[in-house]
Amino acid sequence: MENNKQKNIGMAIVAYILFFVPLLTDAKKDSFVRYHVRQGFLVFLCAVAVWIIGALLTWRLYMITSLLNLAVLVFVIIGIVNVANGQEKPLPLIGHLADKIKI
């Protein structure tokens, strides 16, 4: 059981880097992994939104895009720390939206 739990923690961490990878494995059956896949998907959507904003803003507003990219990185770090601690804790500001995602 400990090995399975360790594997699921690893897959939950992967969910914050490439959210879809755990969905391709047996780990998708674990509610802990699914929770973090939903959180990871939100982080991915934020990263895409920041990329679009960066493409639309002029180079003079590069600082705003840089700060938004930093926020995305902070979300990833917070999510990975939550996984490492075995917590299903929502990410600040965006985590509550994960409940609306069906996986």
Segment 78-81 long-range contacts (CB within 8 Å, at least 24 positions apart): 79/15, 79/16, 79/36, 79/39, 79/40, 79/43, 80/13, 80/16
Percent of the chain with pLDDT over 90: 50
Q: What's the pLDDT tens digit per position in 60-88?
A: 778 888 999 999 999 999 999 999 999 89
Q: pLDDT at position 7, please? A: 60
Q: What is the mean pLDDT of residues 6-31?
A: 87
User: 5 pLDDT band (50/70/90 cuts)?
Assistant: low
